[in-house]
């Protein structure tokens, strides 16, 4: 017997498989989709069996070493999905399969998951037989034991103390042992307080149920009750004996939503959390496979959960960047959801208070169904947004916190209400700069200035993690004139502590949340009112629901408008609207203060009015003028090279080829990528603006097949890229 195996190596052409012989004693274990261990050069690798090979072979084949799995890990459906993913991303098939599986089931991870089983007992004879034995036996203990089973099917063996009598009952075949896999995570229990849905919520659900579109956009302002709508739709889906997937941007930041789902659905929910251990993730995967969990909640990779009959796929905060994977395969969870929706005849529901321009446009023109929740539940008012012009504030000497924000914080502290402050920049200062010669400290491996972190007294590169001790003397001109420019959350925290000595302040950013569970700890503590002020980066902006927060302040709120990216306006609008939505979610009247340098920018003006429509109308005009999505699609081709000159030469060659092959599309570049050097690799970028993907895929495949990539030179294809 011969089999074709797909392994993860950088030799040969893309997706090449290798043929191996199967020793006769292993033949009975062979099944397509299982993993095998094979010799490869002088290494041993794991790979997936993708075919049984019946072709005659005239060269010497090597034998496989072992078959890893008892059950196949890749099903025919997963093979098909992997191929689809590879075809739309141009990523190697092996990357696609690996991405779809939990770590414990990936090839070549060499992870041994201990499967814990627990022994239970159940009756092994009919109730009549058991009853008549209970009547006749003289043993009181045996009677007692058997009586336990008359109203309970399964009892843990460890719960029965009288082992001797138990053994007799097992030997006499009255009881048998049953083994069940034990899961590492504790069971969740229902704890539901039913709400009565509002008329608006019921209408949305009704329209979704009876509608005939495949995909729906639920556009609902923050606090409009979208989560309740999701849960109700899933209730109906379970009634039809179907399952549901709920995608969220990042679990750690959406624990409140997860808890609501657990309270409502109890143990039917499986959570695929990136911070679970490999064993815990494996357990959740198995619970889903066995049909014990019917609702899967997780980040983008949860879309691959092994559900048999999907009834609905919900993507909450559909506009979030985290639905796009940044490394190969560069897939977007939307595309996988749409594919699965079609396969399972399941509808896809996208929800957001600030939809992506692409989704909103599709909903407006009728490609997606359009559902809307215009007001907050119980008609709570959206918070009042005040804009503070920092040019003016700086003149008055208020450089970090404006007078307006300081006054508002004092007022809320007095009222014992809580405050959130967003500054989307971590660290102490943005960078250090020599006042006498202008020297700045750049990462030696990346083309980017290093950020000063005061707690550790280090300068760090936020791209590659390189860190070096801060020095006082400029290495260039040897004077002591280094000044820190700009500021991050670390300095903001220091400033707040200085100004509000009695307030309890907690910071949440990448630096304070490195440990498992640290997000939840901070969120719970703030929710329990152990702190007055929560400050942080964009981590605090999304999804959180605190009932006592009545003030949200945003520092440098318009900073992100300066990023050279056609989506910077959209991303800024989304972030500011989301964080504003954290204020005044219950009976308290919410207030928001945005500190900006461009108070007249349309993004700032429309955030102030909570007017997504007005923002959309302005933004879409720009997109049309400059021909950007949704008026076209974008593909980026990144040429990544160790050598500066060679990288440029190859980029030029590729760009010329694309221009020749794709005369009906716009090909831009090569340009230097926004961050030109990362980790000692130079990065050039070509862009294609296109309408017809087939044609572009064809051409890019030619590029892919033409160049031999290696350690010093790589090409990355990215459709609908987020970073340029």
**Residue 445 touches which member of ligand ADP, Zn ion, none, C-beta under 5-8 Å by kind:** Zn ion
CB of 679 to Zn ion, least distance (A): 7
| 461 binds Zn ion per the rule CB under 5 A | yes
CB of 227 to ligand ADP, least distance (A): 3
> Do 677 and 442 meet the contact criterion of CB atoms below 8 Å apart?
no
| 459 binds Zn ion per the rule CB under 5 A | no
Of the candidate spans 218-226, 454-462, 593-601, 666-674, the one that interacts with Zn ion by CB under 5 A turns out to be 454-462
Of the candidate spans 220-228, 290-298, 358-366, 514-522, the one that interacts with ligand ADP by CB under 6 A turns out to be 220-228
**Residue 226 touches which member of ligand ADP, Zn ion, none, C-beta under 5-8 Å by kind:** ligand ADP
| 512 binds ligand ADP per the rule CB under 6 A | no
Question: Which one, 29 or 203, has the nearer CB to ligand ADP?
Answer: 203
CB of 446 to ligand ADP, least distance (A): 38
The secondary structure of 170-206 as a DSSP string is HHTTSEEEEEEEEPSSPPP-------PPPHHHHHHHH
**Residue 61 touches which member of Zn ion, ligand ADP, none, C-beta under 5-8 Å by kind:** none
Question: Which one, 158 or 194, has the nearer CB to ligand ADP?
Answer: 194
Cα-flanking dihedrals φ and ψ of residue 121, to 5°? -125, 145
Q: What span, in angstroms and rounded, lies between the C-alpha atoms of 518 and 512? A: 8
Total residues at interface with Zn ion (CB under 5 A): 7
Of the candidate spans 2-10, 16-24, 246-254, 463-471, the one that interacts with Zn ion by CB under 5 A turns out to be 463-471
Furthest C-alpha separation in the chain:
102
Q: Which of 92, 223, 599, 669 touches ligand ADP (CB under 6 A)?
A: 223
CB of 193 to ligand ADP, least distance (A): 9
| 377 binds ligand ADP per the rule CB under 6 A | yes
Binding mask 577-616 for ligand ADP (x = CB under 6 A): ----------------------------------------
| 134 binds ligand ADP per the rule CB under 6 A | no
Q: Which of 197, 464, 563, 668 touches ligand ADP (CB under 6 A)?
A: 197
Question: Which one, 3 or 233, has the nearer CB to ligand ADP?
Answer: 233
Q: Which of 224, 232, 393, 520 touches ligand ADP (CB under 6 A)?
A: 224
The secondary structure of 315-344 as a DSSP string is EETTT-GGGB-SSSS--BHHHHHHHHHHHH
Q: What span, in angstroms and rounded, lies between the C-alpha atoms of 663 and 640? A: 25
E-strand stretches of 204-327: 215-220, 243-247, 269-271, 295-298, 310-316
Q: What span, in angstroms and rounded, lies between the C-alpha atoms of 457 and 484? A: 13
Q: What span, in angstroms and rounded, lies between the C-alpha atoms of 148 and 166? A: 12
CB of 461 to ligand ADP, least distance (A): 36
| 372 binds ligand ADP per the rule CB under 6 A | no
Question: Which one, 195 or 626, has the nearer CB to ligand ADP?
Answer: 195
Q: Exposed/middle/buried for 576, CB within 10 Å: 0-12, 13-18, 19+?
A: buried
Alpha helices in 90-181 (DSSP H): 93-100, 127-136, 140-148, 163-171
**Residue 464 touches which member of ligand ADP, Zn ion, none, C-beta under 5-8 Å by kind:** Zn ion
Applying the rule CB under 6 A, the residues between 33 and 52 that interact with ligand ADP are none
Other beta carbons within 10 angstroms of residue 644's beta carbon come to 12
| 195 binds ligand ADP per the rule CB under 6 A | yes
Question: Which one, 113 or 461, has the nearer CB to Zn ion?
Answer: 461
Select from 494, 588, 583, 602 the least CA-distant residue to 541. Answer: 583
CB of 394 to ligand ADP, least distance (A): 35
| 220 binds ligand ADP per the rule CB under 6 A | yes
- Identify the sign of the CA torsion 521, 527, 531, 535: positive
Direct distance between the N- and C-terminal alpha carbons of the chain, in angstroms, rounded to an integer: 49
User: Residue 145 carries which DSSP code?
Assistant: H
- The DSSP H or E segment spanning 555 is none
Total residues at interface with ligand ADP (CB under 6 A): 15
| 450 binds Zn ion per the rule CB under 5 A | no
Applying the rule CB under 5 A, the residues between 233 and 292 that interact with Zn ion are none
Applying the rule CB under 6 A, the residues between 200 and 219 that interact with ligand ADP are 201
Q: What span, in angstroms and rounded, lies between the C-alpha atoms of 613 and 617? A: 6
> Do 428 and 482 meet the contact criterion of CB atoms below 8 Å apart?
no
Question: Which one, 346 or 443, has the nearer CB to Zn ion?
Answer: 443
At 423, list the tokens: 């500054």
Question: Which one, 263 or 456, has the nearer CB to ligand ADP?
Answer: 263
Question: Which one, 224 or 424, has the nearer CB to ligand ADP?
Answer: 224
**Residue 377 touches which member of ligand ADP, Zn ion, none, C-beta under 5-8 Å by kind:** ligand ADP
Of the candidate spans 66-74, 192-200, 461-469, 632-640, the one that interacts with ligand ADP by CB under 6 A turns out to be 192-200
| 446 binds Zn ion per the rule CB under 5 A | yes
> Do 583 and 553 meet the contact criterion of CB atoms below 8 Å apart?
no
Question: Which one, 55 or 196, has the nearer CB to ligand ADP?
Answer: 196
Question: Which one, 64 or 269, has the nearer CB to ligand ADP?
Answer: 269
At 112, list the tokens: 């041994």
Question: Which one, 545 or 565, has the nearer CB to ligand ADP?
Answer: 545
Question: Which one, 92 or 298, has the nearer CB to ligand ADP?
Answer: 298
User: CA angle, corner 579, sides to 578 and 584, nearest 5?
Assistant: 105
Q: What span, in angstroms and rounded, lies between the C-alpha atoms of 486 and 425? A: 10
Residue 471, C-beta contacts closer than 8 angstroms, at least 6 positions apart: 482
Q: What span, in angstroms and rounded, lies between the C-alpha atoms of 306 and 510? A: 32
| Helices 76-89 and 93-100, axial angle in degrees (round to 10) | 130
CB of 372 to ligand ADP, least distance (A): 12
Q: What span, in angstroms and rounded, lies between the C-alpha atoms of 390 and 400? A: 9
Q: Which of 46, 228, 280, 718 touches ligand ADP (CB under 6 A)?
A: 228
Q: What span, in angstroms and rounded, lies between the C-alpha atoms of 121 and 115? A: 19
Question: Which one, 355 or 669, has the nearer CB to ligand ADP?
Answer: 355
Residues in touch with Zn ion (CB under 5 A): 443, 445-446, 461, 463-464, 466
Residues in touch with ligand ADP (CB under 6 A): 195-198, 201, 220, 222-228, 377, 545
């Amino acid at each position: 017997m011969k089999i074709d195996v797909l392994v993860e190596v950088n030799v040969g052409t893309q997706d090449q498989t290798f043929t191996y012989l199967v020793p006769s004693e292993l033949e009975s274990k062979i099944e397509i989709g299982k993993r095998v261990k094979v010799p490869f050069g002088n290494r041993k690798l794991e790979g997936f069996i993708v075919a049984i090979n019946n072709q005659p072979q005239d060269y010497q084949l090597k034998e496989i070493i072992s078959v890893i799995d008892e059950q196949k890990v890749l099903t025919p459906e997963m093979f098909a999905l992997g191929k689809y993913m590879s075809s739309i991303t141009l990523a190697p098939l092996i990357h696609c399969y690996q991405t779809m599986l939990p770590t414990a089931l990936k090839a070549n991870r060499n992870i041994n998951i201990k499967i814990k089983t627990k022994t239970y007992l159940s009756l092994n004879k009919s109730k009549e037989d058991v009853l008549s034995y209970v009547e006749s036996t003289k043993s009181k203990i045996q009677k007692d034991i058997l009586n336990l089973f008359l109203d309970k099917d399964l009892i843990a063996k460890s719960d029965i103390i009288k082992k001797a009598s138990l053994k007799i009952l097992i030997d006499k075949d009255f009881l048998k042992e049953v083994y069940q896999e034990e899961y590492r995570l504790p069971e969740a229990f229902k704890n539901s307080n039913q709400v009565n849905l509002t008329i608006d919520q019921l209408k949305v659900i009704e329209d979704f149920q009876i509608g005939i579109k495949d995909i729906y956009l639920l556009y609902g302002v923050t606090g409009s009750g979208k989560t309740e709508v999701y849960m109700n739709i899933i209730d109906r889906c379970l009634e039809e004996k179907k399952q549901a997937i709920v995608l969220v941007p990042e679990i750690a930041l959406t624990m409140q939503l997860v808890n609501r789902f657990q309270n409502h659905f109890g143990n039917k929910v499986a959570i695929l959390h990136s911070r679970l251990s490999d064993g815990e993730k494996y357990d959740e995967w198995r619970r889903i496979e066995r049909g014990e969990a019917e609702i899967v909640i997780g980040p983008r990779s949860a879309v691959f959960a092994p559900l048999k009959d999907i009834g609905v796929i919900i993507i909450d905060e559909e506009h979030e960047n985290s639905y796009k994977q940044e490394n190969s395969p560069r897939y977007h969870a939307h595309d996988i959801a749409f594919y699965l929706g079609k396969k399972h005849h399941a509808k896809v529901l996208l929800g957001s208070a600030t939809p992506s321009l692409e989704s909103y446009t599709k909903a407006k023109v009728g490609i997606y169904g359009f559902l809307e929740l215009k007001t907050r539940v119980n008609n709570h008012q959206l918070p009042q947004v005040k804009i503070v012009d920092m040019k003016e504030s700086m003149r008055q000497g208020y450089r970090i916190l404006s007078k307006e924000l300081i006054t508002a914080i004092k007022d809320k502290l007095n009222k014992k209400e809580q405050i959130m402050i967003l500054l989307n920049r971590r660290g102490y200062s943005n960078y250090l700069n020599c006042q006498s010669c202008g020297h700045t400290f750049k990462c030696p491996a990346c083309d980017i200035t290093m950020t000063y972190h005061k707690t550790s007294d280090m300068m760090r590169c936020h791209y590659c993690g390189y860190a070096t001790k801060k020095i006082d003397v400029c290495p260039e001109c040897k004077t002591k004139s280094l000044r820190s420019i700009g500021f991050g959350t670390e300095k903001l925290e220091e400033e707040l502590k200085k100004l509000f000595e009695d307030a309890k302040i907690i910071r949440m950013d990448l630096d304070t949340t490195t440990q498992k569970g640290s997000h939840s700890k901070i969120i719970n503590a703030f929710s329990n009112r152990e702190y007055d002020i929560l400050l942080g980066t964009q981590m605090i902006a999304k999804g959180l629901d605190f009932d006592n927060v009545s003030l949200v302040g945003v520092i440098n709120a318009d900073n992100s408008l300066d990023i050279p990216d056609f989506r910077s306006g959209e991303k800024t609008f989304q972030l500011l609207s989301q964080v504003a939505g954290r204020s005044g979610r219950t009976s308290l009247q919410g207030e928001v203060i945005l500190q900006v340098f461009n108070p007249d920018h349309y993004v700032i003006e429309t955030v102030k009015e909570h007017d997504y429509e007005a923002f959309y109308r302005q933004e879409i005009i720009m997109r049309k003028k400059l021909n950007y999505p949704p008026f076209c699609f974008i593909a980026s081709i990144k040429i990544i090279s160790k050598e500066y000159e060679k990288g440029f030469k190859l980029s030029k060659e590729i760009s010329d080829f694309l221009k020749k092959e794709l005369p009906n599309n716009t090909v831009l570049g090569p340009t230097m990528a926004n961050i030109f050097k990362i980790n000692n690799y130079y990065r050039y970028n070509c862009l294609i603006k296109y309408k017809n993907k087939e044609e572009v895929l064809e051409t890019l495949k030619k590029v892919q097949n033409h160049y031999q990539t290696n350690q010093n030179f790589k090409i990355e294809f990215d459709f609908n890229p987020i970073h340029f």
